[in-house]
Structure 1
Amino acid sequence: MKKLKSVLVFLLLIISFLGFSQGRPQAARIKITGKVIEKVSKNPLEYATITITNPTSPKSIAGGITNPKGEFDIDVTPGIYDIKIEFISFKPITIKAKDLQKSTNLGQIALEEDASQLNEVVVRAEKSSVEIKLDKKVYSVGQDMMVKGGTVSDVLDNVPSVSVDTEGNVSLRGSDNIRILIDGRPSYAVNIAEALRQLPADAIDKVEVITNPSARYDAEGGSGLINIILKKGKNQGFNGTFIASAGIPETYGLTANLNYKTEKLNYFTTAGYNHRTNEGGGKTNSQYFNDDGSIKNFLDEDRETERSREGFNGRAGLEWTVAPNTFWTNAINYQKDSGENNDLIKYNNFDAAHNFTGSTYRLGTGENGGENIEYTSNLIKNFDDKGHKLTVDGSISRNTDDNQSIITGSNNFNNTLNNQVQKQAQIQADYVLPIGEGSQFEAGYKGNFGDLNNQYYVLDDQGIRIDNLSNTLVYKENINALYTQYGFKKNKFSYLFGLRWEDTNVQVNLLDNNDFNTKKYNNFFPSAFVSYEISDQSNITTSYSKRLTRPRGRFMNPAVNYASNVNIFQGNPDLDPSLTNKFDFGFIKRWEKVTFNTSAYFEDTKDVFSFVRSPTGDEVNGVPVIKSQPINLGKEQKFGFEFTLNYNPFKIWRVNSNFNLYNVKTIGEHSYTDTQGELIVQNLDNQANTWSARISSKLTLPYKIDWQLNANYNGEQKTAQGKSLGQFGMNTAFSKDVLKDKSTIAFNISDIFNTRVMRSYTYLEHQTSYSEMQFRKRQFNLSFTYRFNKPKGEKEKNPQPKNEDGGGEFPG
């Protein structure tokens, strides 16, 4: 471990030294600054291009792009230059023969929309689908052919640093201790993995990955945040997109994104229907031992699953420009889904000599349905054009999820019912005040108020409820938060310091056994970010934040997953939150065709959640029953190194890659009393190294056919009770624009070699097991996209102020 740390620190020092040496100025330089805005609305234009050239030569001397505030900052040597300011579908402005002998602020530069380009297809080089910023990575979904006809889970599985396992669970840098936001608001779905599989990928604009959030964000999410931003059209007039898709296994869907924009009003809507069939399967081969260590018997479980889902997802909203500096957005989101599950498990029994002794089976057939409705409102008041603003957000939602299954077997019959209702309300206010040049003060309040009612019943073959497997959970959670932060820039250094306070009141009530538990706690969450600008193309940043993770979803739900009667899963409503101290040191360097970003990170977590497999003391036909359950284990420390590389060797070829290597050390033990009254103590100390890699290549072939190929690998990892084996997956896609570029046909294959299988070994005192699980087998998908009044790749115009991440930008 010490050698690993030394090597990583040495590499970072070498990179920093190279950055310093390359960024050393060769002559006295001056700064050219300014701000680019849209002439009518006065809104800042992000990604406007500034090019500085010598009047006597067409060769570019320097250049840059504007930040989210429309500002630019370019270094040049003194001289006389032509300055050109451009933005897609706007009339460019050129300042001729400008004499620049000292640092100069060009002030506000207003660009006017070019009406002649509104109905033309603008052919331009595509912006990279992965944009690297110092505080986050932004993944643009519209550029990715892999996810056409897919779901949000497919989108996230293509995002650098993010992984989605075969059960749909999302992790960041190898940790599932994260927070998922949708349009900057927390997702409170009862089953977030299932909710993400129901939301179509075509409704997503981009995904932000924030590994070390500042105080303006919720403190929840020990390893970071993932913010999913939904599409909101901005193009003038009436425009839209229709997408139809079909695939094997049986999958089909239809999505429409429509938008109508006038000078003061912008109507947007998304509606989609999808039907998906997921075929999967797995096995668990177990070997059992007597107390003296001799072999007792063997049990092989073979599992086949088929899950079908159909759902409707709709979103409609209105953005109203109340005044030139005031914007009010209201939207309603509605989602309804239903499905069927078939889960067949065959049990083959063997004696100590591995002679076959008999078999049984267990078939689970079920139906499920869910409905979610949410109303959101967002008000933005800009006091001036320098970033002084007030933002107010509010939302209310109601989510229901009903499941019923019938489990039949060789010797048993059970019926399970699971009904969940969750209500949520949120109010948030954020205030941003610029103070002088390059300084900014922020403050805000946020309140989350919710309750969950979950009724779970297991009935025997006589229809009588089995009390020890059934329960009614009432969970209420109220969180109030205040935050403030101050950022400023001095010379080449930028600073951002913040403090957040959160007060939490939780009630966990199990009504059937009169188990009432109240958890009250409040915490301060400081954050600090320091960035140093080595040159226009390279920066170093270091950051610290304190994070918290509250148990949610299946972690808390005491309902028993009863598909297998010898390998069961149950949530733990008595979990406590975990606290994490996060440190991150990053370096970013940009060349003409390459962007390189690397970071070393350290996370120190106490009361970390961990899944533990424990013998219950019961047996079924002589086979011990093993229960998997999350617990507060103890302490976990993670040290890792990550880098992301974007490479555009040619205009027709783009490559993105990501690599993550980390060491994790866990200390703790689990004590419990089994059904026989025996005290069991499990030592769960563990230390392991693991790594993951991902690469994506997009190439334009002859006849303007785009080809994309993605591959990812998650390395083997040792656990306290066994190990998880490595996993490899590869996807590919082809697309072709037709009908004068108004339509696109795309074909993709998910998991080409059918290798996305979770494989693991578990070692317990009287049992060893080997398991495989594949939630979804290889899939083929064909999609057709039709656009009207919306040219492919055109940059959205007249962008309204957004509040996707809940606050202002990092100064400087």
Structure 2
Amino acid sequence: MKLKLIITCFLCSIAFGFAQNSGSIKGKIVDKKTNEPLPYVNIILKDNDKIVTGGVTTEDGNFAINKLGLQKYTIEIQFIGYTTVVKNIDLTADANQNLGTIAILEDVSELKDVEVVAERSNMVQKIDRKVINVGKDLIASGTTASEIMNNIPTVSIDPQTKEISMRGNSNVRVLIDGKPSNVSVEQLLQQIPSASIKQIELITNPSAKYNPEGMSGIINIILHKNSQDGFNGSINTGVTFGITPKTNSALNMNYRVGKVNFYTNYGFNHGINANNGFVDSERPTQENRQDFNFRNKNNSHLLKLGMDYYINDKNTLSAYTNQSFTYGSGTGLTTVVYDDPIANSNTTQLFGSNGDNKNQTYDVVYKHDFDKKDENLELQFNYSHTENDENTVYDETISNPTFNFDRTNLVKGTTDYFQFNADYVNPITETTKLELGVETRIQNSGNHFNDINPSFTSANNSFEFGRNIYSAYANVGKQIGKWSGQLGVRLEYFDLDADFAINETNPSFNDAQNISDDLFTAYPSAFLTYTANDKNSFNFNYSRRVDRPSIGQISPIREWTTPLMESRGNPGLVPQFTNSFEVNYTRNTKIGSITSGVFYRSISDEISRTVYNDPNNPNRNILSYDNFDNNDAFGIETSGNLKFTKWWSVNASADVYFKTAKGTVQNASTNALENAEVDVTTFNTRINNSFTATKDLRFQLFGMYRGKDRGLQYDRMEMYKMDIGATYNILKGKGTITARYNDVFENMNFAFDGNIPFRQQGAFYWESQTFYVGFNYIFGGGKNRALARKQRDANETQSGGGMF
């Protein structure tokens, strides 16, 4: 009997394989109540529960599936928010069947489960990136993007400088909705309310389609918007209680009618941050203790307005604008007390600062779909303008003998950025795809810095910075059986012209420098994926990347100053190039997926920090940058998204990095500059547990550990914390109350201990222990346009040069 069954199945499969593909099915889908046609409805064709093919309805609700074998099928009509309709079709009796108009009924109970923000964050591993879908648990972990980044795998935020790093390296490119911003990364992450974030993409080894800047890769932050019919949206608001209270709110609204979709997102962040710290310095003959107290008030507004116009089935026009406004003020007190106050003068510095940052971005995208499936052309225009103003007043008192002087820093900066892209995708065959693109990026920045100091040397400094980049890329992808690969190259011409002018009342300090550079470079990339089966897949990839010196890194103009330290750039910096290799393995199990990876980087002309004595003040150090010899770095990381039981699920990650830190330090005894290097091993781990108590009540338990990190001057001590939280659904699932207690045991602080160039240790503290309570509410109604949302999300995050 077994033999007969095998032979029968074999003959049936042969008969099916040679069946004439001449059958067809067509029809029209409408709403049962309104009789309106429904576009983007999924039509699935099955043979004994096995999916054979499918399609999607057009704007007028019609669908057609051709080239079908003459046999019996089951057709399923699926649409989010509607009851699924199942029909049996027999093409052996009638090869070309017209099902006519099929009316489907809206399922109100299903619509209640469609949420704008998920309860729990989850991570999806894709071929070239990790995608973090931000849930209410991450929103509750911090009021800004900067605060929730510390809960993201492979990402870290320095608690004092707010500098972001990925895989232990700070050379990271941050994008918003796939677009660059003129605002500095540190400031940008402070402006974005966490409730406005939909997804965070981690692209550790981008292909040739992406711009090559950033040794560690790209972090793309995607803001909320949706595409439901009618008027609908959500509001998310919360308060964080620490030393001072802070608010974080976001309003998302959408209105779609006919072929036009309008959407808006408004985020507001307000609060006062209190920080303090100390540094004990054992510099010979100048032993001292520095104490710092800072209090900063911040008001941030982020407004996004956009629309999509679906001209017809083949053409779409999209446009949006981002408008952000940040108003900040702060006060600070720095005291320097020497062990020997007679030989050295104690110093007290009080400062008050006011700053305004305004950024406006305008973006237009036109997309044309050709008759061939997945063949399309996309054109994008992007322009942004940024203004950054600062007014800081320093009041410094020096004892022995007592002397007081004031200093005022006035900074006014502007940046204009223009970007044009054209991207073309052509699936030459079912297994071969060609991608082509060109891009132009033009950036012009200006900065005027006035240091008004009646008692000493005053300065009136300025710079003009222009950078043009022209590039073209090509990618060819091929799939053969279980193997799929992609080869690409990006060609780029880089042109830089910058003028720096230092004008001080002391003529000996005056200087004018022009920096120019032009470079033509090729950036190749290669990806290879082997899918052994549904449970196991391997990915190998390579790319060449560049880190070009930023304005701050090359500007010789003073950036900031304290009684014992000053920061300025190095005009002689050259670009740093990196060859990056990765191997990743993904294992799908019954309880979830686990991804593990190994990476290696070969770095040339590495850019790193350098510290040396101020030649005009032997008691002050200059913090700057320099190029060093070639370097290597590698690491191992693993992450998992697991569901152990119906009531317990876990997102967890762990990583370990190995690198050699290089730089220049100054010998405290001889004042000579010396090259230094140190081998570094850093271990990090995070775990986020979610416990489902009832249908409406969930609990979260989060823990993180960041291991000790060695540096040239000091070792950063380990950091760790634990958070607990809960969410409760109300108002028939449309509302959610969230509560979270961060850093339960108040362990988080930045502590260091060092011996170079002299013995020093210290710690910095911030409002790490906080309590958050928030409320999320979904309002409005309408039918979910699943495919339209998918298409627009692809426009936001698509990996072509047209977006990056």
Fold conserved between structures, TM > 0.5: yes
Paired position in structure 2 for 1:265? 260
Higher mean displacement: 81-90 or 243-252: 81-90
Could you list the runs of 5+ residues in structure 2 that have no partner in the other structure? 1-8, 30-36, 57-70, 92-100, 399-404, 503-510
Q: Write out aligned runs for 1:8-27 (5 A).
A: none
Q: Write out aligned runs for 1:538-557 (5 A).
A: 538-552=536-550, 554-557=552-555
Deviations, residues 38-67 of structure 1 (Å, cap 9, x unaligned): 97787697xx9999977xxxxxx9999999
Paired position in structure 2 for 1:783? 774
| Aligned amino acid, residue 363 of structure 2 | T
Given that 1:146 and 1:733 are in contact with CA atoms closer than 8 Å, whether structure 2 keeps it comes out as no
Instruction: Determine whether 1:436 maps to 2:423.
Output: no
| Aligned amino acid, residue 267 of structure 2 | G
Shift of 1:610: 1.2
> What is the rounded CA distance, in whole Å, between the counterparts of 1:367 and 1:504 in structure 2?
36
Shift of 1:771: 2.9
SS of equivalent to 2:300:
strand
Q: Write out aligned runs for 1:279-298 (5 A).
A: 279-289=274-284, 296-298=285-287
The 3 A distance-change label for structure 1 pair 228 and 747 is same
| Aligned amino acid, residue 378 of structure 1 | V
Instruction: Determine whether 1:628 maps to 2:629.
Output: no
Paired position in structure 2 for 1:492? 482
**2:327 alignment partner, one of 331, 338, 354:** 338
| Aligned amino acid, residue 609 of structure 2 | F
Q: Write out aligned runs for 1:527-606 (5 A).
A: 527-552=525-550, 554-606=552-604
Instruction: Determine whether 1:684 maps to 2:682.
Output: no
Deviations, residues 240-274 of structure 1 (Å, cap 9, x unaligned): 11222223222124421110012301000112332
TM-score (norm 1): 0.83
The 3 A distance-change label for structure 1 pair 128 and 200 is closer
Higher mean displacement: 178-187 or 247-256: 247-256
**2:605 alignment partner, one of 596, 604, 607:** 607
**2:349 alignment partner, one of 334, 338, 362:** 362
Given that 1:599 and 1:643 are in contact with CA atoms closer than 8 Å, whether structure 2 keeps it comes out as yes
Given that 1:684 and 1:721 are in contact with CA atoms closer than 8 Å, whether structure 2 keeps it comes out as no
Given that 1:82 and 1:97 are in contact with CA atoms closer than 8 Å, whether structure 2 keeps it comes out as yes
> What is the rounded CA distance, in whole Å, between the counterparts of 1:540 and 1:439 in structure 2?
20
> What is the rounded CA distance, in whole Å, between the counterparts of 1:458 and 1:179 in structure 2?
31
SS of equivalent to 2:169:
coil
Q: Write out aligned runs for 1:668-679 (5 A).
A: none
Given that 2:181 and 2:384 are in contact with CA atoms closer than 8 Å, whether structure 1 keeps it comes out as no
Given that 1:148 and 1:746 are in contact with CA atoms closer than 8 Å, whether structure 2 keeps it comes out as no
| Aligned amino acid, residue 706 of structure 1 | R
Given that 2:712 and 2:756 are in contact with CA atoms closer than 8 Å, whether structure 1 keeps it comes out as no
| Aligned amino acid, residue 531 of structure 1 | T
Paired position in structure 1 for 2:151? 158
Deviations, residues 597-640 of structure 1 (Å, cap 9, x unaligned): 011110111122212222224557xxx21222222222221111
Paired position in structure 2 for 1:710? 702
Identity across the alignment (%): 23
Given that 1:90 and 1:111 are in contact with CA atoms closer than 8 Å, whether structure 2 keeps it comes out as no
The 3 A distance-change label for structure 1 pair 413 and 123 is closer
Paired position in structure 2 for 1:422? 415
> What is the rounded CA distance, in whole Å, between the counterparts of 1:526 and 1:465 in structure 2?
50
TM-score (norm 2): 0.83
SS of equivalent to 1:535:
coil
> What is the rounded CA distance, in whole Å, between the counterparts of 2:13 and 2:481 in structure 1?
13
Given that 2:557 and 2:568 are in contact with CA atoms closer than 8 Å, whether structure 1 keeps it comes out as yes
Q: Write out aligned runs for 1:40-79 (5 A).
A: none
Paired position in structure 2 for 1:384? 371
**2:657 alignment partner, one of 659, 662, 668:** 662
> What is the rounded CA distance, in whole Å, between the counterparts of 2:790 and 2:524 in structure 1?
33
Given that 1:730 and 1:751 are in contact with CA atoms closer than 8 Å, whether structure 2 keeps it comes out as yes
Shift of 1:114: 5.0
Shift of 1:163: 1.3
Shift of 1:202: 2.0
Paired position in structure 1 for 2:473? 483
Shift of 1:805: 3.6
Deviations, residues 462-495 of structure 1 (Å, cap 9, x unaligned): 5x7524xx52121111111100010010011001
Could you list the runs of 5+ residues in structure 1 that have no partner in the other structure? 1-26, 55-60, 68-78, 100-109, 290-295
Shift of 1:593: 1.2
**2:753 alignment partner, one of 757, 761, 778:** 761
The 3 A distance-change label for structure 1 pair 317 and 349 is same
> What is the rounded CA distance, in whole Å, between the counterparts of 1:152 and 1:788 in structure 2?
25
Q: Write out aligned runs for 1:217-228 (5 A).
A: 217-228=210-221
Shift of 1:710: 2.2
Shift of 1:450: 0.8
Given that 1:495 and 1:531 are in contact with CA atoms closer than 8 Å, whether structure 2 keeps it comes out as yes
SS of equivalent to 1:764:
coil
Deviations, residues 134-188 of structure 1 (Å, cap 9, x unaligned): 3211111144354477122133222221111213211111111111111111222
Paired position in structure 1 for 2:392? 405
Given that 2:182 and 2:359 are in contact with CA atoms closer than 8 Å, whether structure 1 keeps it comes out as no
| Aligned amino acid, residue 405 of structure 1 | T
Instruction: Determine whether 1:644 maps to 2:639.
Output: yes
The 3 A distance-change label for structure 1 pair 355 and 120 is same
| Aligned amino acid, residue 740 of structure 1 | K
The 3 A distance-change label for structure 1 pair 798 and 449 is closer
**1:144 alignment partner, one of 119, 123, 137:** 137
The 3 A distance-change label for structure 1 pair 313 and 569 is same
The 3 A distance-change label for structure 1 pair 695 and 62 is farther
> What is the rounded CA distance, in whole Å, between the counterparts of 1:520 and 1:481 in structure 2?
13
Paired position in structure 1 for 2:272? 277
Shift of 1:87: 5.5
Paired position in structure 2 for 1:772? 763
Given that 1:343 and 1:563 are in contact with CA atoms closer than 8 Å, whether structure 2 keeps it comes out as no
Given that 1:594 and 1:648 are in contact with CA atoms closer than 8 Å, whether structure 2 keeps it comes out as yes
Q: Write out aligned runs for 1:733-752 (5 A).
A: 733-752=725-744
Shift of 1:384: 3.2
Instruction: Determine whether 1:726 maps to 2:718.
Output: yes
| Aligned amino acid, residue 570 of structure 1 | R
The 3 A distance-change label for structure 1 pair 739 and 43 is closer
Deviations, residues 551-599 of structure 1 (Å, cap 9, x unaligned): 2254345443545210232233443221100000111011121201011
Shift of 1:403: 0.9
Given that 1:240 and 1:787 are in contact with CA atoms closer than 8 Å, whether structure 2 keeps it comes out as yes
| Aligned amino acid, residue 364 of structure 1 | F
The 3 A distance-change label for structure 1 pair 489 and 562 is closer
> What is the rounded CA distance, in whole Å, between the counterparts of 1:559 and 1:65 in structure 2?
62
Shift of 1:84: 6.3
The structure number with the bigger radius of gyration is 2
Deviations, residues 75-116 of structure 1 (Å, cap 9, x unaligned): xxxx999786756325535576999xxxxxxxxxx9997533
Number of residues paired by the alignment?
735
Q: Write out aligned runs for 1:172-321 (5 A).
A: 172-189=166-183, 191-248=184-241, 249-289=244-284, 296-321=285-310
SS of equivalent to 2:283:
strand
> What is the rounded CA distance, in whole Å, between the counterparts of 2:548 and 2:788 in structure 1?
40
Deviations, residues 7-64 of structure 1 (Å, cap 9, x unaligned): xxxxxxxxxxxxxxxxxxxx99999999x9997787697xx9999977xxxxxx9999
| Aligned amino acid, residue 504 of structure 1 | F
Shift of 1:659: 0.9
> What is the rounded CA distance, in whole Å, between the counterparts of 2:252 and 2:563 in structure 1?
45
Given that 1:715 and 1:727 are in contact with CA atoms closer than 8 Å, whether structure 2 keeps it comes out as yes
Given that 1:234 and 1:261 are in contact with CA atoms closer than 8 Å, whether structure 2 keeps it comes out as yes
> What is the rounded CA distance, in whole Å, between the counterparts of 1:312 and 1:97 in structure 2?
56
**1:800 alignment partner, one of 769, 791, 796:** 791
The 3 A distance-change label for structure 1 pair 649 and 746 is same
> What is the rounded CA distance, in whole Å, between the counterparts of 2:346 and 2:27 in structure 1?
73
| Aligned amino acid, residue 751 of structure 1 | D
